[in-house]
């Protein structure tokens, strides 16, 4: 199993190219199940989760052609992938595949809309809470589907003639359930109005792509989305939006180590709340042509309290990284997690680097320390693991992060991007 070795203490200086967003790419890829034409996606990141979903879509009958990478001067590359699902080969998504990646559960939406039925295993995914599927069941039931749980699977069946547009308000905001409703309602008869919809940029990206395929969706990015159903969708070409979580992660790394880095190919407006928190912590962050410039001052980090919330609030996917930054602040800060109930697994690992953190319910109290010391640590989930990398970059001496397959799910060429900016980071394959 691979490990990542970090020798901390170096400031970061240079350019870090930001990849296409994993959380946008996954639902966009799944949308290819809605049409028999080719959906072409540009800027698809090369990540374990994307490759896993490629295999899952292949099982449903999607032909996939990957175009070679184009290298750019700043070290970035982008992949264009063509997805064609002439006919759906299988409407079952088996446990062996869905349990590896929760987002693959979302195939339930397009399969039900296009084929009138789907049998999808209940999901697995990151160990960050129970993550139920009640909102998917309620939403699809509102569109007329019969939903039945049987032996670890959900059997979904559309009424004769297909799904029927309806008004449905989510009792709780869910990104995944909003994606699924957008895809399902696009091919339903009549108009659907979704209330309390997720407002994340990835939802807007999916709506834009579906509209390019011929869907009639308005209001994405607000909490009320209206979808006028159409009888069929066509192919389209769409560019995956930049990864705001990767952007925020590297911005926090620079705030922590000090230095001057341009994050290229990204957009500051995707993460206003996180940028505001990073600025309050003392780093200078500004929009520049084609990206964001971050100037960090290393030791002079100020304590800042944050609370995770659905977009446009502070993203839960940046919570662990921000806590990493706060471990070196000049004072006490609080980080409160409101989205997932078990998302503090990084706390004990950060403590191994010398951080002083106490947990009380959903809030962590972080007492900043003047220095962190490198140590062997273990990655526990995707975002938690990158907080350990950030900690290691700022720590004295060597940090060895094991179980890096978690990182490979969501961070493209992490070692290379950091090394180009002066960090000492290497992958060790045993
Ligand atoms: C997506 C992101 C993930 C991010 C999360 C919240 C992807 C691939 N993943 O996950 O990185 O951390 O949004 O921003 O895009 N819930 C229910 N019932 C349901 C569905 C969800 O109670 O049927 C709960 C969840 O347990 C959680 C909350 O709703 O507490 C939000 O989860 P949700 O927005 O659905 O997260 P995902 O879409 O799985």
Q: Is 294 within 8 Å of 283 (Cβ atoms)?
A: yes
Q: Cα of 175 to ligand 1 centre, how many Å?
A: 6
Give the pLDDT confidence score for residue 76 in this predicted structure: 67
What residues does 42 pair with on adjacent strands?
239
| Cα–Cα dist 22/43, whole Å | 10
Helix/strand/coil for 171: coil
* Number of helical (H) and strand (E) elements in the chain, helices listed first: 14, 24
Query: Going by C-beta distance under 8 Å and a sequence separation of 6 or more, which residues neighbour residue 97?
Result: 52, 55, 56, 59, 104, 121
- pLDDT tens digits, one per residue of 379-430: 888 888 899 999 999 999 999 999 888 888 889 999 999 999 999 999 998 7
Whether the bond into 422 is cis, omega within 30 of 0 = no
- Edge-to-edge, what's the strand order for the sheet holding 225-228? 167-169, 191-195, 225-228, 216-218
Contact between 139 and 154 (Cβ < 8 Å): no
Q: For residue 381, what pLDDT is reported?
A: 81
Indicate which residue's Cα is closest to atom 35 of ligand 1.
Answer: 174
Ligand 1 pocket check: which of 98, 173, 339 to mutate, most ligand atoms within 8 Å of Cβ? 339
Residue nearest to atom 21 of ligand 1 (CA): 174
Q: DSSP code of 133?
A: -
What is the rounded average pLDDT of the residues 367-374?
95
Give, using CA atoms, the residue closest to atom 33 of ligand 1: 174
Residue nearest ligand 1's atom 5 by CA: 175
pLDDT of amino acid 125: 45
Residue owning the nearest CA to atom 39 of ligand 1:
176
417/389 Cα distance (integer angstroms):
13
CA 128 to ligand 1: nearest atom: 26
The per-residue pLDDT for 322 is 98
Tell me the CA–centroid distance for residue 381 and ligand 1, in Å: 15
Question: What values do phi and psi take at 211, rounded to 5?
Answer: -65, -40
Which atom of ligand 1 is least distant from the CA of 136? 23
> Mean of the per-residue pLDDT values for the chain?
94
Cβ-count burial 392-424 (b if 16+ within 10 Å, e if not): bbbbeeebbbbbbebbbbbbbbbbebbebbebb
pLDDT digits (tens, 9 = 90+) for 109-148: 999 999 999 999 988 544 444 568 999 999 999 999 999 9
Beta-sheet strands, E only, within 312-369: 332-336, 356-360, 363-367
pLDDT digits (tens, 9 = 90+) for 281-319: 999 999 999 999 999 998 889 999 999 999 999 999 999
C-alpha 303 to ligand 1 mean position (Å):
28
Q: How far is the CA of 176 from the centre of ligand 1 (A)?
A: 6
Testing ligand 1's pocket by substitution, the residue of 131, 137, 139, 200 carrying the most ligand atoms inside 8 A of its CB is 131
Question: Going by CA atoms, what residue is nearest to atom 13 of ligand 1?
Answer: 175
Task: Look at residue 184 in the predicted model and tell me its pLDDT.
Answer: 98
pTM above 0.85, yes or no: yes
Name all residues whose Cβ lies below 6 A of ligand 1: 23, 26, 102-103, 129, 131-136, 172, 174-177, 202, 316-317, 339-340
Q: 64-122: per-residue pLDDT in tens?
A: 999 866 556 666 677 899 999 999 999 999 998 888 888 999 999 999 999 999 999 98
Backbone φ and ψ of 301, nearest 5°: -90, 130
Distance 89 CA to ligand 1 centre (A): 28
Q: What does the pLDDT look like over 9-33, one tens digit per residue?
A: 999 999 999 999 999 999 999 999 9
Ligand 1, atom 20: closest residue by C-alpha: 133
Answer whether 133's CB lies under 8 Å from 139's CB: no
What separation in Å is there between the alpha carbon of 139 and the centre of ligand 1?
Answer: 15
Helix 108-115 / helix 175-186 crossing angle, nearest 10 deg: 10
**Spatial distance between the Cα atoms of 175 and 42, rounded to a whole number of angstroms:** 22
Query: How high is the pLDDT of residue 172?
Result: 96
How far, in Å, from the CA of 352 to the mean position of ligand 1?
Answer: 29
Name the residues annotated as catalytic. Answer: 126
pLDDT recorded at residue 117: 97
In the chain, % of residues over pLDDT 90: 84
- Answer yes or no: are the C-beta atoms of 344 and 359 closer than 8 Å: yes
pLDDT at 99: 86
Ligand 1 atom closest to residue 179's alpha carbon, by position in its atom list: 38
């Amino acid at each position: 199993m691979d490990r990542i070795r970090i020798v901390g203490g170096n400031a970061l200086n240079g350019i870090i190219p930001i990849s296409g967003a994993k959380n946008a790419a996954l639902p966009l890829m799944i949308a290819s199940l809605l049409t028999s034409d080719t959906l072409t996606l540009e800027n698809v990141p090369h990540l374990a989760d994307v490759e896993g979903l490629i295999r899952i879509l292949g099982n449903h009958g999607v032909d996939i052609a990957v175009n070679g990478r184009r290298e750019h001067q700043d070290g970035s590359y982008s992949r264009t992938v063509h997805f064609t699902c002439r006919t759906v080969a299988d409407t079952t998504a088996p446990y062996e595949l869905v349990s590896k990646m929760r987002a693959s559960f979302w195939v339930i939406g397009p399969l039900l809309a296009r084929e009138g039925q789907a049998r999808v295993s209940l999901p697995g995914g990151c160990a960050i809470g129970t993550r139920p599927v009640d909102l998917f069941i309620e939403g699809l039931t509102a569109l007329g589907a019969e939903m039945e749980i049987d032996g670890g699977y959900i059997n979904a069946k559309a009424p004769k003639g297909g799904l029927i547009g309806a008004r449905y308000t989510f009792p709780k905001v869910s990104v995944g359930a909003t994606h699924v409703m957008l895809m399902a309602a696009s091919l339903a008869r009549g108009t659907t109005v979704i209330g309390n919809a997720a407002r994340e940029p990835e939802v807007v990206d999916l709506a834009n792509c579906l509209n390019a395929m011929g869907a009639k969706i308005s209001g994405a990015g607000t909490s009320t989305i209206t979808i006028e159903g159409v009888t069929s969708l066509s192919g389209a070409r769409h560019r995956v939006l930049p990864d705001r979580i990767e952007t925020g992660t590297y911005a926090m790394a620079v705030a922590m180590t000090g230095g001057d880095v341009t994050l290229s190919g990204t957009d500051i407006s995707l993460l206003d709340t996180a940028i505001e928190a990073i600025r309050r912590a003392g780093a200078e962050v500004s929009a520049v042509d084609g990206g964001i410039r971050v100037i960090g001052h290393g030791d002079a980090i100020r304590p800042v309290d944050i609370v995770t919330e659905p977009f446009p609030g502070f993203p839960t996917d940046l919570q662990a990284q921000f806590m990493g930054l706060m471990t070196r602040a000049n004072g006490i800060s609080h980080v409160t997690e409101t989205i997932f109930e078990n998302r503090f697994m990084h706390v004990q690992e950060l403590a191994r680097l010398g951080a002083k953190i106490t947990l009380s319910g959903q809030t962590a109290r972080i007492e900043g320390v003047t220095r962190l010391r490198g140590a062997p640590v273990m990655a526990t989930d995707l975002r938690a693991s990158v907080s350990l990398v950030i900690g290691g970059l700022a720590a004295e001496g060597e940090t060895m992060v094991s179980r890096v397959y978690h990182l490979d799910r969501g961070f493209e060429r992490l070692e290379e991007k950091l090394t180009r900016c002066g960090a000492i980071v290497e992958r060790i394959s045993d």
